[in-house]
Structure 1
Amino acid sequence: MFLVFLLLFLDPLLHAFALNQEGLYLQRVKQSLSDQTNSLSSWNDRDETPCNWRGISCDLVTGRVVSVDLSEFQLAGPFPVIICRLPALRSINLTNNNINSSLPDDLYTCQNLTILDLSQNVLVGSLPDSLAKIPTLKTLILSQNNFSGEIPASFGEFPRLELLNLGGNLLNGTIPPFLGNISTLKELDLAYNPFSPSHTPSELGNLTNLEQLFLAGCNLVGQIPSSFGRLTRLLNLDLSFNRLTGSIPSSISELRSIEQLELYNNSLSGELPLNLGNLTTLKRFDVSTNELTGTIPAGLCGLQLVSLNLFDNRLEGTLPESITRSKDLQELKLFNNKLSGSLPSQLGENSPLQSLDLSNNQFSGEIPENLCARGKLEDIALIYNSFSGKIPESLAKCWSLGRVRFKHNLFSGLVPAGFWGLPRVFLLELAENSFSGQISKMISSAHNLSYLSISNNRFSGSLPDEIGSLETLVEISASGNMITGQIPGSLVKLRQLVSLDLSENELDGGIPVGIRDWVNLNELNLANNRLSGSIPSDIGSLPSLNYLDLSSNSFSGKIPNELQNLKLNVFNLSYNRLSGELPPFYDKQIYWSSFVGNPGLCGDLEGLCPKIHKSKNQSYTWILRSIFVLAGLVFVIGVVWFYIKYRSFKTNKKGATISKWRSFHKIGFSEFDIADCLKEENVIGSGASGKVYKVVLSNGDAVAVKKLSRGVKKEDSLSADRERDEFEIEVETLGKIRHKNIVRLWCCCNVGDSKLLVYEYMPNGSLGDLLHGSKGGLLDWPTRFKIALDAAEGLSYLHHDCVPPIVHRDVKSNNILLDGEFGARVADFGVAKIVKRVEKDAELMSMIAGSYGYIAPEYAYTLRVNEKSDTYSFGVVILELVTGKLPTDPEFGEKDVVKWVCATYDQNGVDQVIDPRLDSTYKEEICKVLDIGLLCTNALPINRPSMRKVVKLLQEASGESKSKGGKDGKLSPYYYHEEASDQGCLV
């Protein structure tokens, strides 16, 4: 009886502490999602209401749930539609999770919803028709997902919508005109979707409440609608990265509220509208990379601009004096135009100028004295103009400067002492001017200096020892000056040094002792000086050296045998005082020009003293015997040559012969050595473009020969001629590439209808074959990391140091070859394109290049790809190295390795992603490299880092400097955003 009474008494208390119905709904939401990080651990059934749960907000009066914010909780699973049963719910925010599958059609049951944010997930399928049935909806953000198909017609019927963001999806079709019916809209973002080429709907001009309009990368063609002039409340208009043509409509001047106008990377032509000066609120104006002509309107420069970018056009005239009235101007980029005249004397005096790039114009006159008056100037590039006079003393006190490029002007006089020692400068480029005087010892204060380029000036005096204290120096280029004295011994401390060019000066003495520490040195050029003494044997121990020129000096003694260890593209010891016998490796006729002008050298080369001196009679006898032997050899060689030619003719009835032979390096073999070895038993690989053969030469060295075969029909002769022309241009360009991480192209030739490319042989084959073959376990993590860094440096060279840049377009693990020490070389440039040529000739990009699994997403909606497409492909290679898996695998289902890594990482943690064959002691570094791979494979090209940045991130990941990573070294795939790449290439 007592027990019954106790239960009756406790029953109301139990009900008082029971979770209410809204909490039960949210518990079901929790059960439907994967929560690997226990972000929802506070969601328990011991509470009466969910109002204190993480991410939940309730109305203070009614106690009803009004907001669910689970952004960045790392949740995975389908959208929990049961959440719509919360009757007072007004806001749902699930951004930056792993919400997958498609959105259900019954989302309209969220009848009180005003905000729905599902951005940065992996939602797929079409956009639900029913979203427009939510009568209270004001904010709809579905950006950075994988939605596809067309925008539903119902989206033109939203009664109260103010913000619509569908950017960064896979939407196709065209931008529908009915979006112009959403009269309440204040922000519209459709950027970076693969829409079909179409005109910009003029109906968007009806959105008179619009404040933000983002249509970048939407494949728009034709002219900018004049109706946009009706958008008088517009603050930001972005039409960049499209194919817009025609002139900028004068109606743009009616945007009286506009603050940011971005029209760059289109094909706009004509002159800038004179009435742009009416845009009194304009702060940022960017029409770079178009085809604009005429002058810069004075009214435009009189505005209170923060940023003015007009580069890569055909603008002429002078820079208006009114630019000095822009008190907020931070960025002024006018490079690659035809502008002339002098700069306004007050430029920079009234504005916090941070970046000034006037390169490749026809400017003249002196640098304004007050360019850095506000102390904010970080970047100044004036290369390829006709500026004259001295560097102002005021710039020597501009501590903010980081990048200085004055190359190819008419500057003269002394460089201010303090200018040499600016503490933040990492690039100092003064080459091709008429500067004089000495390099100041104050250069010791330039702790951040990486590139010092002062070639072709009139600098004199000795190089200061203080240069050796600049540990970050990568390149010293000081050729063509009047520098005297000895090479400072302190230079051997520069372990990061890649290039040292002191040629054409008046240096004396010898090469410093201790150069063995130059382990990264790629180029050493000391030609045309007065250097003497012996050549150090330590040069032979420099592992990266491939350019050595010590010619036209007074070096004496023997040539060290250690130089035979080097693999040189350029080798020149001519016109010195060297003596003794040549090292056996170089005692060949192909190296004759490397040793001429050294009368004391002995060897078999013509013009050198004989190895063995004989008596006069013996010499006569030797000469007679030589004549008879030579005659016999000529006869035998003639017979053999005739037989080879006859056999070749019989074998190929078309009469295929070696029609063109072009070498790009000094080689010790001929075309016949190659042609005779192209047999099936020598095949080491094959692909769509042909077969690859291993050819062992008579001297024991091996080369790899790719045979490109193509049968040409008569009716295809015109296209074949064009293909041959492009082949010649590309081969000539690639044959000039000199980098330790780019496979060497020794030579090329045509054999009938076939083309032969002769490369250096890579003993360990391709990364793809080794990693995914039976020997994949041999690649430990340090080796894999070295391969990744080597390949990244090779691609960075192509993108940033080649002029013009080269896009590889087929980066994959099978095109990364490995030498005997597993050093990586980027190979196979069969579809590589020179960037400037690609931009000018869209027809060259009329077909998708690349390999399945490595192709960047933007190939689906645009052929105007750039270096960022290579970055994506390289990111896939990184994921291969980390996971050990192929880019596409039946295990992934319909996913590729990028999507599989993202899904598996979020659901099961990093341990399920990393290749189990790797040593777990490297886990922290592997995680950092994995995150770099995810950065590179970002769906939006603009969010991917440049390859120069990738190299830096990899170096940071290896512990060379502090990483930007957060907890456990993890980098968010969205943390890095590169607004603009470095304009212009380092020399």
Structure 2
Amino acid sequence: MMKMYSMLSQIKTQVGVFTISLALFFLISCVLAQQDSLTSAVERSALLDLRSSLGLRSKDWPIKAEPCTWTGVQCRTGRVVGITVSGLRRTNRGRRNPKFEVDSLANFTSLVSFNASGFSLPGSIPDWFGLSLSSLEFLDLSSASVIGAVPESLSNLTKLKSLCLSGNDITGVLPSALGSLVELEVLDVSRNSFTGSIPSEFASLNNLTVLDLSSNFLSGTIPPGLGTLSRLNFLNLSDNSLTDTIPVQLGELSELLELDLSKNALSGGALPVELGGLSGVRKMVIGDNDLEGPLPDGLFSSLTRLEVLVLSRNRLEGALPSALWSLSKLQLLDLSRNNFAGALPRISTNGSVSGAVFNLSDNFFQGKVLENSQSTVTLTGNCLQLVPNQRSSQACRQFYEERGMAFDDFGVPEPEPDSKRKNRLIYILAGIFGGLGFIVILVVVLVVLLKRGNKATNQQGSANVGPVTDGDGLSLPKDLMYASGLGEPFTYGQICQIAGSFGEETLIKHGHSGDLFHGSLKSGTPVVIKRVDLHSFSKESYTIEMDLFSKVSHTRLIPLLGHCLEHENEKLLVYKYMPNGDLASSLHRVTNSADGKLQSLDWITRLKIAIGAAEVLAYLHHDCSPPLVHRDVQASSILLDDKFEVRLGSLSEVRAQEGDANQNVITRLLRKQPSSEQSPSALMSSPTCAYDVYCFGKVLLELVTGKLGISKSDDASTREWLDHTVRYISIFEKELVSKIVDPSLIVDEDLLDEVWAMAIVARSCLNPKSSKRPPMKYILKALENPLKVVREESSSSARLQTTSSRRSWSTVFFGSWQHSSSENATVPGHTNRESISALKQSGRAGSHGSGGIEFSSSRKRLSNEIFPEPIEMQDVERQEEH
């Protein structure tokens, strides 16, 4: 009995515990249910209003469901504390008419967070934001199509910890009142159109960990007070127009991990040694400025965590501090486009990590190279021994003489003492006179032989000796086939086998510099063979290209895989096959031979092609010495690989730009006058970069309008079409351009802005005055940032009517690169993608748009000297209308 009683007691106890647990479970569930339920009728109604004004789908915010369960809605104690519309989709009606209609937010008095990142809210931030949302701690409107100015009322949001407004078109000055938001930890207003200076009041934001003001139009100096923000981890002021020196106070940011001051106009001395106090910094980018002088010796000794250092495109000089090579975590070092000199120290194997990248190109280093095989080191454009693609000895010698420094002359031994020099001079004179006597005898013999040869020719007809080089041109060296960039030498038999004996079935077309044939290597790789018959084409049809490929290199030039020069009257060049042909054949292509249906390239691909073509032309115009002019820029010259990447072809017309004083062997070769066998367009064009720009403008119009044949023709009907079309390109009215856009293009509102921008660039390229056409480097910048071309016009067209509109247009179009108006054109050879942007060194060549080279003691030029201004363009329009 006792055992039974004990068992019953245990069962009773367990049942009691279970009952209590069950009751607690229901109680907790009720509490949680009440917490997840919206108790405020006002806020429930406000959510429904917000759902309607934003056009949100019922799938995300279903009316019949509890609002606290809606996607992106957070509730606490029956009140809405967080609303996230980022990532939500609108209904079709909502997408057609998006607006910044969020007035209902004023009813959420407990709202802590509002996130609309990436959700289109065209319109300005309402002033009541800072008056009604007093509990707000997180506000994210990045990439939300916001325009207008930032209301100063936001300074009332005293609890705000994060303010993200990046990627919009917000204008006006940065409100200094934002400096009163002392709780702010993140302030990101990058990629907007803010003007004016950085408010000194920002120095009061002591809790900031992230400050990003990049890609705006800010000017003035960097406030020294920013150095007091002791908790700052990320500081990005890049891509503005900031001036003066770097404040030494920035060295006090001991918690800083990343510092980016690039693409400004910072000047004065080199980096302040006080920046060595950034002991935790991992990334330091201060390229594209006007810094000058040597790097301080003690700068890098304490930067032991540095992984990325970019100081390119400044005017820094002197020797490199030895401490730089002992940074054990350094992964990327870019010191290119400066004036560093002296011998290069050995890149320590105990220093940089394996696989590190060092770009030391386009400086004035001399001596031999002692480099670490585990690192990738770029050394082109220096004064080094036994390294390809270096500066000329004259340029190096002049640089060192101007600074009173000794130059090793690429390893040439020092002159001998006078006594030995006199003895050697006697032997040299004896050799010279003896040699002259031998040459005289040789010339007499040659004259006799030539006379006999001429008599034989007159009696038997023209001898098959090939064309005679005219002018001051130089014949091709016999050993040119072994030069780099010319591919593999083939025998004539091999080429015939590759090209199928040049049968009609393999013929692609008859080009103006040779016939093109399909072919295939033994490996199965498809190729294109150019066959230059010297009976039908001039010798220049292949010598220009051969010399070009042997001297310059760029990934966007059509790859030359091989050649055959052994046949006296027939020269053969082997190119890589481009699967997508050229732009002329790919813009609209037949996808179904049965119904003849056309498929056009989408806008993203067209913009990609335009950028690629501008990139290689910018290389020829600005990174080659002397500047090279393509002279045959048209849709058929723009070849496309399997990924629609641009490869520029039709290189037989390339010439050095007229008016350049640096006439060396290749210059004279490239300067030879066009022969009668060449195309009419080449005969009419003069070798100026401005001519290429004009032709490129016609290519851009082909991409915009879809009309083929414009770039290859210059007849009266083409000029009439151009005159008619450019009337629809106005910086004041975007809607006009829709009348000339290719009807096969499917573009939404955002893409139409890019189409509009390309049309504006095309019109500027087609300016009748060659001196008013933009240099290709700025065209490239504009195409890479199309929204900057039309940003200010679309947001505030009324401002363009003011007297400051000319400068506003320049600021919007060029952004931070407006101060990079000149280039160093003395660096031959290959450059990577990054090196195509504007150089910032003293004594550089100016714009090549006028066909010549200009030098100026002033680094900056007014933008209207570089690019035609919109007001001027509109004046032309009005004159045409009247």
Q: Output the TM-score relative to the length of structure 2.
A: 0.50
Q: Note if contact 2:758-2:786 (Cα within 8 Å) is conserved in structure 1.
A: no
1:327 aligned residue (349, 353, 356): 353
Tell me, in whole angstroms, the C-alpha distance in 2 between the residues paired with 1:434 and 1:68.
59
Which amino acid counterpart does residue 42 of structure 1 have in structure 2? D
Aligned pairs for 1:447-526 within 5 A: 466=521, 469-471=524-526, 505-507=565-567
Instruction: Name the counterpart of 2:715.
Output: 761
Q: Note if contact 2:215-2:238 (Cα within 8 Å) is conserved in structure 1.
A: yes
Q: Note if contact 1:68-1:93 (Cα within 8 Å) is conserved in structure 2.
A: yes
Tell me, in whole angstroms, the C-alpha distance in 1 between the residues paired with 2:674 and 2:283.
63
Tell me, in whole angstroms, the C-alpha distance in 2 between the residues paired with 1:889 and 1:319.
51
Cα 1:319–1:78 change in 2 (3 A) is: same
For residue 42 of structure 1, report the CA deviation from its aligned partner: 2.8
Cα 1:74–1:216 change in 2 (3 A) is: farther
Q: Note if contact 2:563-2:573 (Cα within 8 Å) is conserved in structure 1.
A: no
Q: How many residues align?
A: 532
For residue 104 of structure 1, report the CA deviation from its aligned partner: 2.2
For residue 138 of structure 1, report the CA deviation from its aligned partner: 0.7
Q: Aligned pair 1:383/2:405, yes or no?
A: no
1:811 aligned residue (749, 758, 761): 761
Tell me, in whole angstroms, the C-alpha distance in 2 between the residues paired with 1:363 and 1:101.
57
Q: Note if contact 1:160-1:184 (Cα within 8 Å) is conserved in structure 2.
A: yes
For residue 105 of structure 1, report the CA deviation from its aligned partner: 2.4
| Partner SS for 1:293 | strand
Cα 1:181–1:742 change in 2 (3 A) is: closer
Higher relative contact order (CA 8 A, sep 6+): 2
Q: Note if contact 1:664-1:736 (Cα within 8 Å) is conserved in structure 2.
A: no
Cα 1:292–1:431 change in 2 (3 A) is: farther
Which amino acid counterpart does residue 566 of structure 2 have in structure 1? E
2:781 aligned residue (868, 871, 876): 868
* CA deviation string 1:37-57 (max 9, x = no partner): x3x53323312x312211223
Tell me, in whole angstroms, the C-alpha distance in 2 between the residues paired with 1:243 and 1:545.
38
Q: Note if contact 1:544-1:740 (Cα within 8 Å) is conserved in structure 2.
A: no
Q: Aligned pair 1:57/2:74, yes or no?
A: yes
| Partner SS for 2:370 | coil
Instruction: Name the counterpart of 1:165.
Output: 188
Which amino acid counterpart does residue 73 of structure 1 have in structure 2? L
1:307 aligned residue (321, 328, 332): 332
Cα 1:161–1:568 change in 2 (3 A) is: closer
* CA deviation string 1:733-754 (max 9, x = no partner): 237759975779xxxxxxxxxx
Q: Note if contact 1:766-1:815 (Cα within 8 Å) is conserved in structure 2.
A: no
For residue 979 of structure 1, report the CA deviation from its aligned partner: 9.0
* CA deviation string 1:236-269 (max 9, x = no partner): 1111111111221000111111111111000000
Instruction: Name the counterpart of 2:129.
Output: 107
1:317 aligned residue (342, 348, 357): 342
For residue 191 of structure 1, report the CA deviation from its aligned partner: 1.4
For residue 192 of structure 1, report the CA deviation from its aligned partner: 1.9
Taking only the aligned residue pairs, the percentage that are identical comes to: 23
Aligned pairs for 1:971-986 within 5 A: 980=834
| Partner SS for 1:321 | coil
Cα 1:149–1:297 change in 2 (3 A) is: same
| Partner SS for 2:232 | coil
For residue 301 of structure 1, report the CA deviation from its aligned partner: 1.8
Tell me, in whole angstroms, the C-alpha distance in 1 between the residues paired with 2:673 and 2:210.
68
Cα 1:263–1:771 change in 2 (3 A) is: closer
Aligned pairs for 1:406-425 within 5 A: none
Cα 1:767–1:165 change in 2 (3 A) is: same
Q: Note if contact 2:73-2:83 (Cα within 8 Å) is conserved in structure 1.
A: yes
For residue 185 of structure 1, report the CA deviation from its aligned partner: 1.2
For residue 466 of structure 1, report the CA deviation from its aligned partner: 2.2
Higher strand share: 1
Which amino acid counterpart does residue 208 of structure 2 have in structure 1? L
Q: Note if contact 2:203-2:229 (Cα within 8 Å) is conserved in structure 1.
A: yes
Which amino acid counterpart does residue 32 of structure 1 have in structure 2? S
For residue 784 of structure 1, report the CA deviation from its aligned partner: 12
| Partner SS for 1:507 | coil
Which amino acid counterpart does residue 159 of structure 1 have in structure 2? V
Instruction: Name the counterpart of 1:268.
Output: 291
Q: Aligned pair 1:126/2:176, yes or no?
A: no
Q: Note if contact 1:809-1:831 (Cα within 8 Å) is conserved in structure 2.
A: no
Cα 1:42–1:331 change in 2 (3 A) is: same
Q: Aligned pair 1:832/2:786, yes or no?
A: no
Q: Aligned pair 1:344/2:370, yes or no?
A: yes
Which amino acid counterpart does residue 58 of structure 1 have in structure 2? C
Cα 1:345–1:265 change in 2 (3 A) is: closer
For residue 868 of structure 1, report the CA deviation from its aligned partner: 1.2
Q: Note if contact 1:298-1:320 (Cα within 8 Å) is conserved in structure 2.
A: yes
Tell me, in whole angstroms, the C-alpha distance in 1 between the residues paired with 2:63 and 2:737.
53
For residue 233 of structure 1, report the CA deviation from its aligned partner: 0.7
Q: Note if contact 2:141-2:166 (Cα within 8 Å) is conserved in structure 1.
A: yes
* CA deviation string 1:186-241 (max 9, x = no partner): 1111112222x412111111111111111112311111001111111111111111
Which amino acid counterpart does residue 220 of structure 1 have in structure 2? L
Cα 1:311–1:762 change in 2 (3 A) is: farther
Instruction: Name the counterpart of 1:733.
Output: 688
For residue 86 of structure 1, report the CA deviation from its aligned partner: 2.5
Aligned pairs for 1:422-821 within 5 A: 432=483, 466=521, 469-471=524-526, 505-507=565-567, 594=676, 666=683, 733-734=688-689, 737=692, 760-764=714-718, 765-767=720-722, 769-770=724-725, 781=743, 811-813=761-763
Q: Aligned pair 1:253/2:276, yes or no?
A: yes
Root-mean-square deviation (CA), in Å?
A: 5.8
Which amino acid counterpart does residue 28 of structure 1 have in structure 2? D
Tell me, in whole angstroms, the C-alpha distance in 2 between the residues paired with 1:510 and 1:291.
50
* CA deviation string 1:458-480 (max 9, x = no partner): xxxxxx97289444779999x99
Q: Note if contact 2:216-2:815 (Cα within 8 Å) is conserved in structure 1.
A: no
For residue 867 of structure 1, report the CA deviation from its aligned partner: 2.6
Which amino acid counterpart does residue 244 of structure 1 have in structure 2? L
Tell me, in whole angstroms, the C-alpha distance in 1 between the residues paired with 2:216 and 2:794.
27
Q: Aligned pair 1:80/2:102, yes or no?
A: yes
Tell me, in whole angstroms, the C-alpha distance in 2 between the residues paired with 1:81 and 1:502.
68
Cα 1:733–1:231 change in 2 (3 A) is: same
Q: Note if contact 2:690-2:771 (Cα within 8 Å) is conserved in structure 1.
A: no
For residue 872 of structure 1, report the CA deviation from its aligned partner: 5.2
For residue 170 of structure 1, report the CA deviation from its aligned partner: 2.1
2:62 aligned residue (37, 44, 49): 44
Tell me, in whole angstroms, the C-alpha distance in 1 between the residues paired with 2:786 and 2:256.
38
For residue 166 of structure 1, report the CA deviation from its aligned partner: 1.6
Q: Note if contact 1:301-1:322 (Cα within 8 Å) is conserved in structure 2.
A: yes
Cα 1:595–1:82 change in 2 (3 A) is: closer
Q: What residue ranges of structure 1 are gaps of 5+ in the alignment? A: 1-15, 367-381, 388-408, 411-428, 444-463, 484-495, 523-541, 547-565, 572-589, 597-662, 668-702, 704-730, 745-758, 786-791, 793-806, 817-825, 837-864, 880-886, 897-936, 943-977
